[in-house]
Chain A
Amino acid sequence: MRKRYRAIALIMTLMVTSVLLIMVSAFFSLNRDQIQLRRAGDATLRAQAAALSGLEYARMRLEVDGTWGLPGSGCARNISSPGLKVFENDRFSAGGIDTFCCVGVLDEGQSHFQINFVDPVAGYGGLPSLANGRVIGRNVESNPTGGLAAWGRETLPGLETSVNYLNSVSSFYPPVLSLSSGTGPLRTVPPKSCMLQIRGYYHGVVRTCDISLANEKPTDAGFQAGGQLALDINYDRGGRWYIRSLDPSKNKIQADGDIIVRGSDETDPGMRFQSGNASATSSGRIMTGTSAISSIDDPHDGTLTINGQTGVDVDVDVAGAKTGGKMRPSAGVSSVADLNAATVESQLNNPNFTQLNLSGGHYEFQDPSTLKLPDGSQISQIRRNGKIVARVEDYKLVFSEGVSVNFQGPTTIDSQGGKPSILMGYNTNALAESYMPWNSSGTFLKVTNGSLNIDGSVGGKGSLMATGNTTNQGDVIMRGRSQLSVDPDASVTVFADRNIKVSPPDPTSARFFSNDLAPISLAMRNYSEAQDLNNWSRGSRPLNDFASLGADQDYLTQGGKNPISDQQVGTQSIKTSPVDSNLSEIKSALIANFPVIDQNENAAAEFNAMYDKFMTGVAEPGMTVGRYLRLREFLRDLQSAQDSGSPLPSAATSAWGDLTARNESLNDQLKSEISFFNRKATASNRSFHNLIYDNRSTNPTENDLTNSMNARDAKWTGFLYARGSVAIDSGGGDLDIRGSLVARNDMAITNVTNVVSIYDPAYLKSASQFMVGNKLANKLWCDFYRIR
C-alpha cells in the first residue's frame, strides 16, 4: 500500500510540474509576442517621429530660405547639433540629373529622415523614378557618420520625390501631374508651395510624411468677418459687388454671422463672382438687403450696431446661379484668426529700421511745411543719424523708408489749412519734392496704447498698426482718400487692435492719375523710336523691364545720371521727349482732377499762364513729359492753397515754372510713375510695349488704366485686419480692395457704388513674415498633411 501511495505522489508531482512548465512556457510565449508587438508599434512611432523631425527641419530651412531644396541652389549645408546631424548635397546626381538630397541622422543613427528633391522646371512629365536617387536606410543605420558619399544608393520612386515650388511665379498648370503610368506624385503642386515626401526610418520600419507647405495665410477669403457682414451697394444705379480671387482653388467671402448685401430680391443679392470655386459662406443667414443702412453705431465693445438694413433670405439655388457662386447659409465657417499685436509687430517691424519715437497727442499742420507737435514745438523735418526720417511737405507728414515710427499714446493728426495725410516709405535724401522709391523698403508706423486718428489719408508703402484694447483704444480712423497715393500697387498692412474706420475718399490727394498715361505714352513712343529701341525686350536697358532696371532707369528718363533740364525739348530722354498730340484733351483731363480750377478763376488764370508759358514763352516751346509733370504739381499747389485758404501761388514765381529747377525730383517722380505703369502692364499679362502702343493709351479719358485708377474711388492694396470691426464709407464712389479685408467682429461698407474685391494671397505675406537675425523669413504651414 505504501509503495502504491508513493508512486501516485511521484506521478502527481510530475504531472503538476509538467502543467506548471507548460503554463510558464505559455506565459513566456505570450509575453514575447506582446513584446514583439509593442516593439513593432514602437518602431512605427519612432519612424513617424523621425519623419516629423524631418518636417520641422525642412520647414525651418524653407522659412528662412525659399530656395532650399532646389538642385544646384548652393544652399546645401552639413549641420550638426545635439541629437541631429544633417548631411546635404544640392548636386546629388541620380538618373543623369542633379537632385538635392538631405539626410538627417537622429540619436546617433538609431533613426533618420531623408528628403529628396528634384528640379521643378526640369521638364518632366510627372516625376519618374530615379536610379540611385536616394541613400539606403540600412546603410545610414549601420554607419551614421559616414555621409552621403559613403552610403549605398537605391532607386528613388517618383512617388517619394519632393518638389520646391515656393519661388515659382508663373503658372505651372498642371505643374506636376501624375502620369497615367502612375510614377508621378498623386497630387498636383501649385506654384508658391512645396511638396515634401519625408521618409522617416527606424530599424527597418519606414513612415512617410506627405506634406504641402505654403505661406501661412491668416485668411482664405477676400472679405472675412467674425460677425455680421453688411454691404450697402448702390444696386439701383447698377452697383454690384464683384468678387475675384487669385487663388484658383477658392473664391470666397465668409462671415461667422449674417451676410446681407443690397440687391433686388431673394434671387439676386447683388454679388457677382468672377472666378471659379466661388462661395458666400455664413454661419447664419445670407440675405438680400432691401433697404439702406441708416446709421452705424459703435457700442465700444469691438462690434458695430448696423441700423436700418433689412433683408430677405436668398433663394440658395437661384441666387447661386445668378451670382455665379454657391450660397451657403448656416454653414460651418472657420473662425477668424486672432492675430495679437505682439505677434503682428514682430512680423511687420524690421529691427534694422531706424527707430523714431514720438509722443502721442495732437499733431497739427500750421502751414504746408510746418507741423506743430504735442509739446508745442514746430518742425519741418526730423533727422536721425544724419538722415531725414520724417519731413513735412504740403500738409503731408512724410516718413522715410527704413524707419520704424512709434507714437506713444493716442495720436491725432489734423490741420489748420489743407487736407493732411501721412505718407510712408519715401526717399531718405533731402530733395525738395519727396517721392517713393520704386524699391522702397517701406515704413513701420505704430501707435502704442491708443488710436490713430488722421483727418486725412494714409499712403505709400509699409505697415500701420494701432494697439490698445477693445473698448476705446486701438482704432485706425482715416478720413479722406485712404489709399496708396504714389504707387497703388505697393502693399500696406493695417492692423487695428480695435476698429478700422474709413471715411469718403478725397480725389485731389492722388499723386498721379490714369490720364498721365497719355502724355507718357506719347513721349515714350517718340523717345523709343528716335533711340531705335523698337525692340523693347533687347539691349542693356530694355523698356519692357523698366520697373526692375534700378539705377539704369535714369538713362532712359533723363539720358544719364545727371538731371536733365526741362528747358530742352528732344528725344535724348523720356522726360524731354515731345508730347505732340491730343494736347487739349490731355490738358482738360489733367484739370479735371483738381476742382480748384472750377472753384477759383484766379487759379485757372495762373494755371493757364503757366501752360501758355511752356507752349509759347520759352526758348524751346512745346509740351514734354517733364513740363506736363510741372503743370500737374503746380495744380496741386493751387489746390492745396485753395483748401487751406492760403494765397494762391503765382505762375511767374512758382518753382515749377522754372524749367531749370526741381529736375531731379521730377525725374524721380517720372521713374516712379513709369515703374508703376510697367507693373500694371505685367499684372495684366501684357508687355509694357503693348500697353504703351495700345490704341487707347494716347486717350487721356479712356485708356486701359482709367477704370483701375479712378481718383474718386477708394482703393486698398494689402491686408487690412481689425481685431474689432471695419466700417468703410466710400462716399458714393467705388471701393477696390486687393488682398484681403478681415474683421474679427462686424464689417459694414456703406455709400458705395461698386465693390471690387480681389483675394490676393501675395499681399498676405507680410502678416506671416518674421525676422531671423537680419533675414526676413516667411512662416509656412501645411496646406496638406498626411502620413502613410
Chain B
Amino acid sequence: MKRGFSVLEAVLACALFSLASLCLFGLMQFGFRAFSMGGQRMGLQAEQEAILMHLRADLEFTTVSSLRVADGGPRNVVVPLSVGPTNEPRHQLCCCGLTDWNAKNNYNPQSGLPNWDLYLIYQADLAPQGSLFRVEMGPVYYANDEGWNQFSSYSAAFPNLPPGLGANVAGLVVRRRQRLSSNLLGFEVTKASSDLVVRLLLFNSSAYRDPAGGSRRSQVLETKTRIAIRNRSH
C-alpha cells in the first residue's frame, strides 16, 4: 500500500512539476526575449552614442566652409524591413581636421588658426545591411579650409565601401579606416545655416520575434540631431 501510494504520489508530483516547469520556462523565455530585446536596443543606442560622439568631436571643431556632402538619388538605398521596404539615404560627409591639436606647428603663426592637415570622411555604404565608416585621409599640407576639392571625384570612385587602409586616392593616403556601425539603415546630412543636421537610423539586422510571440519585427533606432559647428573661422 505504501509503495503504490508512493508511485501515484510520484506521478502526480511529476505532473505537477512538469506543469510548473512549463510555466516557469515560458516565463523565462519571455524574460529572455525581453532581455534580448533590451540588450539589442541598448546595443543600438550604444552604437548610436558612439557614432554621435565621433561626429560631434570632429564636426564641432571643423570649419563651416570645409563641409561637403555627397547626396542625391544614387545615394539612396531600398532596405527590406518587416513592415515593408524603405528608401533610406546613405550620404557621405567630408570636412577638414587636424591630427594633433597640441602641436605648435599645426597653427598658422599669423592668424593663430589651425593648419588643417587631414580630411575626415563619414561614409555610409550602399548595402541593404549598411555600414558607416570614418576615414582619415592625409597627409594634407595646409589643407585649405574650403574643403577637399577632390571629394566629388572620391565619392564617384568609392560610392560604396571606402578604400582600404594605405590606399592612395588623389594624392592622399587612407591613414585610418574605422567601421563605426554595421547596423546602418540611413545616414542623412543636411546643412542648416552654419550648423549640420544629422539623421541617423540604425536597425537590428537579425529580425526577432517580439516577447509575446507575435510576428517577427525589425527594430529601428532613429536619431536626428543638430550639431553646432562652434569653430566659426571660415
Contacts and interface: CB of A to CB of B under 8 A. Distances in A.
A782 B232 CA distance: 6
Contact of A188 (B64, B67, B110): B110
A220, A781, A786 interface centre (most CB from chain B within 10 Å): A786
Interface in B130-181: 144, 146-147, 149, 151-152
B83 interface: no
B104 A248 contact: no
Contacts of B208: none
B110 A177 contact: no
A249 B111 contact: yes
Given A332-B65, A788-B101, A188 B231 contact: no
Interface residues of A, number: 36
B108 interface: yes
Interface string A766-788: 00000000000000011111101
Contacts of B146: 279, 281, 328, 331-333
B67 A249 contact: no
A696 interface: no
A742 interface: no
Nearest to B57: A787
A111 to B, nearest CB: 20
A190 interface: yes
A287 to B, nearest CB: 17
B68, B144, B234 interface centre (most CB from chain A within 10 Å): B234
A568 B231 CA distance: 63
A338 interface: yes
Give the secondary structure class of B's interface: loop
Contact of B234 (A190, A193, A212, A334): A334
Nearest to B231: A785
A781 B113 contact: no
B60 A338 contact: no
Interface string B59-91: 011001111100000000000000000000000
A250 interface: yes
A87 to B, nearest CB: 27
Interface string B95-112: 000000111100111111
Interface in A172-188: 173-174, 177-178, 182, 186-188
B61 A785 contact: yes
B152 A174 contact: no
B144 A279 contact: yes
Interface string A196-229: 0000000000000000100010001000000000
A188 B114 CA distance: 10
Interface string A236-271: 000000000000111000000000000000000000
A173 B110 contact: yes
A249 B110 contact: yes
A190 B112 contact: yes
B216 interface: no
B102 to A, nearest CB: 7
Contacts of B194: 334
Given A328-B144, A786-B101, A786-B231, A335 B110 contact: no
Contacts of B107: 186-188
A193 B112 CA distance: 10
A689 B114 CA distance: 42
Given A328-B146, A332-B66, A174 B234 contact: no
B209 interface: no
Given A178-B104, A186-B102, A786-B231, A332 B112 contact: no
A190 B108 CA distance: 11
Contacts of A212: 112
A374 B175 CA distance: 71
A784 B231 contact: yes
A154 B194 CA distance: 40
A334 B64 contact: yes
Contacts of B147: 331-332
B225 interface: no
A335 B67 CA distance: 11
A189 interface: yes
A161 to B, nearest CB: 14
B109 A177 contact: yes
Contact of B111 (A190, A216, A331, A332): A190
B193 interface: yes
B233 interface: yes
Given A332-B66, A332-B67, A188 B109 contact: yes
A330 B149 contact: yes
A281 B144 CA distance: 11
Contacts of B102: 186, 788
Interface residues of B, number: 33
A331 B149 contact: yes
A315 B51 CA distance: 41
Interface in A743-782: 781-782
B217 interface: no
B231 A782 contact: yes
Contacts of A216: 232
A335 B146 CA distance: 12
Contacts of B110: 173-174, 188, 190, 248-249
Nearest to A159: B102
Contacts of B109: 174, 177, 188
B226 interface: no
A785 B230 contact: yes
B67, B102, B113 interface centre (most CB from chain A within 10 Å): B113
A784 B101 contact: no
Contact of B113 (A173, A279, A783): A783
Given A248-B111, A249-B110, A331-B146, A783 B65 contact: no
Contacts of A786: 61, 101, 231
Contacts of A332: 65-68, 146-147, 149, 151
Contacts of B61: 785-786
Contacts of A335: 191, 193
A312 B192 CA distance: 33
Nearest to B67: A332
A482 B67 CA distance: 38
A335 B190 CA distance: 13
Nearest to A173: B110
B45 to A, nearest CB: 14
Nearest to B65: A334
A784 B114 contact: yes
A188 B230 CA distance: 19
A338 to B, nearest CB: 7
B137 to A, nearest CB: 15
B7 to A, nearest CB: 19
A448 B42 CA distance: 55
Nearest to A211: B230
B100 to A, nearest CB: 10
Nearest to A193: B112
Contacts of A328: 144, 146, 149
A447 to B, nearest CB: 27
A186 B144 contact: no
Interface in B30-60: 60
Nearest to B233: A783
A330 B150 CA distance: 9
Contacts of B67: 332
A689 B113 CA distance: 38
Interface of B: 60-61, 64-68, 101-104, 107-114, 144, 146-147, 149, 151-152, 191, 193-194, 230-234
Given A177-B109, A188-B112, A785-B232, 16 more contacts: A186-B102, A186-B104, A188-B110, A250-B234, A328-B144, A328-B146, A331-B147, A332-B65, A333-B65, A334-B65, A335-B193, A781-B232, A782-B230, A782-B232, A785-B61, A786-B101
Nearest first, the 6 closest Cβ-Cβ pairs linking A and B are: A332-B147, A249-B111, A188-B112, A785-B230, A334-B65, A187-B112
20 contacts: A186-B107, A187-B107, A187-B113, A188-B107, A188-B108, A188-B109, A189-B112, A195-B112, A249-B108, A281-B146, A328-B149, A331-B147, A332-B65, A332-B151, A333-B65, A783-B231, A783-B232, A784-B112, A784-B114, A785-B60
